[in-house]
Structure 1
């Protein structure tokens, strides 16, 4: 357990959760440390202890479960006041210092995965997070070895310790704890794979934090500072095995409640559009469906065991550093400093094609600094050669109205405001960030990445209208239809766009998907 000051060397707070059982969800196979795992060498060897038939860790207290029906301010102390950011060195993380982020996290669900060598400061950060987020839970393999308030390590029980930590994390996630903190070393990717899978299954945003102490990689100082007397030689071996956390993607994550509400909203816009005779005929033609009920089931979402089900907008594709310009993006200070920070997103329209259904986003100036996508990328042959950009048929696909996202598990941040687009309402984005979107659903066998290409087609249609100076009321290059609270427009080629009268504002957390 990483320590960085005398305050951290207090007995760790052992927290478990109630025995509420999950219904109807597949269990995750525990990923436990072997005797050769990094965690096995994070502590000094202990005197041999005879193993018992069953592990008997000290029974921890049970915190109250989070209420899903309470007001958002019920999680805030002092009658609605947000917790104050902690003072001190090495605590400069948005989740601890940025007030808008703190407010968002209290309304959402985040798994914080600490990563660092023993003595680097992980437990100091973990304890500060727990003080801030009172309903949060710290899970650590070290807690298994607490006996009567004393730490008694037994290498023979390390497997049980990690199973104990994983089970406590799962129970906390099932109960809906707003913040779950995994206080283990996690120096290799496989060490925290279980917790990433848990975040997918139970709709949490994952956030990996590494202590920024000046001695985080100095094994000589770490040997003096860590509370378990891990010698420098063992720390040197751990440092050699240290793997950087390399994301596949950087995303703006929405919470579960907002995702569910937006999908419901998208269904409502589709219903409105299907009342327009021209749209209904076009939809019949490309979908080969004839009833409104079936048409509402046309777009599917991937909600299988390995899918991330909460809505998200892609800021950059990095593929663990292998994508074009990925290393440069990952090294940017603004990217590193923004991990775990709240960003507002603005839904300004919806795009419907035979392939995809997406929500169009307007990014603010701060979010645009994180934009790493190519707004002019040409759709490659591997998507255009197959019908509608097909991918193999798969299990776990559901319609927008049948999503497995739970209502009431988080607090909504959605609000409706006057459009900021004014005269550019019908050509709202054309420069950097014009590709930003949320994939709501896809036609059968269509990959979600196609949504961005369909949006870029819309941008090109809109700019063609602007370039030709065609008045908004003209039907030479498009047709417009009035629908409640918005306008439906087609540019031909089965491409339809909904332009709402008002913008929808939603909060997000910038983090990475691994």
Structure 2
């Protein structure tokens, strides 16, 4: 794959308004999941050493910091070199995009930079023709599509992308070809200073034109922020989840009966003798999207409370394009959703914001103090609610929220095919996500199944004797990956299903509860159509923090 070098660009919006300039295309990057290095192997986070990386350092490069994790974080760079990521550049001429693009090319030798300006370069001479803007951008789009279809790990779209519609085709292309998108804006202090931009840009744009473009520049929020798996691990995990659901439906009659009853309520008739595969087919991925993710905050493009505050947080913006590990502890199956529970690290918890958790905690606290008054004030029939589990009472309420509950460890051990309570907590196990930050883990039972061979090389750690269960009341307990949902069910339903399961785990000590051995762990039927597969040891996957636009 040949690396394309960054060329001079002109902004489309200005050209269309002033017939003077052309819009440079945004940056898109993608790569496959590499193995994270051991902590001892990371000698320095500075990957811009001229001797090691061959980076060209110019006077402009020294005038501001290239403070992006995909450029200076060693683990992130290794991850992206073996994933599929699309960097979409955003910024006005003279704001510093060229320096960032050159640094990306230097850091990722196997990359492709696509720009509409390439169309006007003939024999090394740039000759812009405003009448050919349409063909120029169509050529840029086609070239980008070719690189994405070929699986180029890093694709950069180098245009100004002042407004969202200018990058929509690239966002759609990334979704179709399973690329994680990272939007990149220069961090220079003059990026909206028209006078300084006029002095620095190489296209001869006047201060008046640039001032107009500054007014046009549009900040937009994603639908949500989260940690995204790459394509290889997404496909692996989806296959693994399907295999586990089939096994549970085969081995747990109560679960099968509950699912069939739910199908009948939804007027979907499936004969009782139907095999597990037909039942599992009832659960599907929404919109056919292959990449799976763990949501940190749902923003709805700014239409939910506190969305703007979260979007503008320095730690959120600073983590965009940064790789980290997600630790999966168990798989949940309900009548509505199939999901994986995730244990977040301390650093990841700082980015996690789920209002549903906080709302549930507040309602639980109020209901425990005076359940009759609380539910009567909300129009509920308190005499019918009393004595029922809190999750039953919550079913009558509309929930939405976030959480900060105290970590409460509730460990369990496997004994004679049953789950029994273990008296003490293993702090080492609780913090395993952080201690294994640079290890990609696969459970041996998974590797023994031919249909579930790992798609990438993985490091393994010695199997743990204890099942890994999520604490019933801790901040971040609803962190999850939605694997599939029943027809007509939204992905966010997984959050409520996991909160319900956490409540069941808090109510019942699991003593004497039957468990069934399944691939990589033990499955426990919790009643009411809920089943949880507790893994013998957690699975740790690489992920990339970014937004979904």
Query: Structure 2 length normalisation: TM-score?
Result: 0.70
Q: Which runs of 5+ in 1 are unaligned?
A: 1-10, 15-32, 47-65, 74-80, 386-406
Deviates more, 1:444-453 or 1:499-508: 444-453
Match of 1:340 in 2: 321
Match of 2:442 in 1: none
Match of 1:57 in 2: none
Pair 496,258 (structure 1): closer, same or farther in 2 beyond 3 Å? same
Match of 2:128 in 1: 153
Match of 1:435 in 2: 478
Question: Contact 2:466/2:536 (CA < 8 Å) preserved in 1?
Answer: no
Pair 411,227 (structure 1): closer, same or farther in 2 beyond 3 Å? farther
Question: Contact 2:248/2:523 (CA < 8 Å) preserved in 1?
Answer: yes
**Residue 511 in 1 paired to residue 495 in 2?**
no
* Partner SS state of residue 487, structure 1: strand
Deviates more, 1:35-44 or 1:275-284: 35-44
Which of 496, 514, 517 aligns to 1:482? It is 517
**Residue 444 in 1 paired to residue 428 in 2?**
no
Deviation at 1:232, TM superposition (A): 0.7
Match of 1:206 in 2: 181
Which of 258, 271, 292 aligns to 2:276? It is 292
CA RMSD of aligned residues (A): 3.4
Moved runs in structure 1, 4+ residues, more than 6 A?
A: 70-73
* Partner SS state of residue 181, structure 1: strand
* Partner SS state of residue 250, structure 2: coil
Q: Which runs of 5+ in 2 are unaligned?
A: 23-29, 37-43, 49-54, 264-269, 364-377, 381-393, 397-450
* Partner SS state of residue 488, structure 2: coil
1:385-431 CA distance string (max 9 Å, x none): 9xxxxxxxxxxxxxxxxxxxxx9xx97376555688958x3443521
Pair 313,415 (structure 1): closer, same or farther in 2 beyond 3 Å? farther
Match of 2:266 in 1: none
Match of 2:292 in 1: 311
1:317-350 CA distance string (max 9 Å, x none): 1122221111221121111110110121011101
Question: How is 1:117-136 mapped onto 2 (pairs within 5 angstroms)?
Answer: 117-136=92-111
Question: Contact 2:86/2:156 (CA < 8 Å) preserved in 1?
Answer: yes
* Partner SS state of residue 515, structure 2: strand
1:57-89 CA distance string (max 9 Å, x none): xxxxxxxxx999x9989xxxxxxx999336753
Pair 140,83 (structure 1): closer, same or farther in 2 beyond 3 Å? farther
Which of 446, 456, 471 aligns to 1:412? It is 456
Counterpart-to-counterpart distance in 2, 1:419 and 1:360: 19
Deviates more, 1:372-381 or 1:448-457: 372-381
Question: Contact 1:361/1:437 (CA < 8 Å) preserved in 2?
Answer: yes
* Partner SS state of residue 501, structure 1: strand
Deviation at 1:483, TM superposition (A): 3.2
Pair 331,429 (structure 1): closer, same or farther in 2 beyond 3 Å? farther
Match of 1:114 in 2: 89
Deviation at 1:143, TM superposition (A): 1.1
Question: Contact 2:472/2:506 (CA < 8 Å) preserved in 1?
Answer: no
Match of 2:190 in 1: 215
Pair 456,45 (structure 1): closer, same or farther in 2 beyond 3 Å? closer
Question: Contact 2:223/2:301 (CA < 8 Å) preserved in 1?
Answer: yes
Counterpart-to-counterpart distance in 1, 2:520 and 2:278: 24
Question: How is 1:251-270 mapped onto 2 (pairs within 5 angstroms)?
Answer: 251-270=226-245
* Partner SS state of residue 203, structure 1: coil
Counterpart-to-counterpart distance in 2, 1:298 and 1:445: 11
1:432-462 CA distance string (max 9 Å, x none): 1111111111112211111111111101111
Deviates more, 1:479-488 or 1:126-135: 479-488
Match of 1:175 in 2: 150
Match of 2:47 in 1: 84
Counterpart-to-counterpart distance in 2, 1:125 and 1:320: 26
Query: Structure 1 length normalisation: TM-score?
Result: 0.75
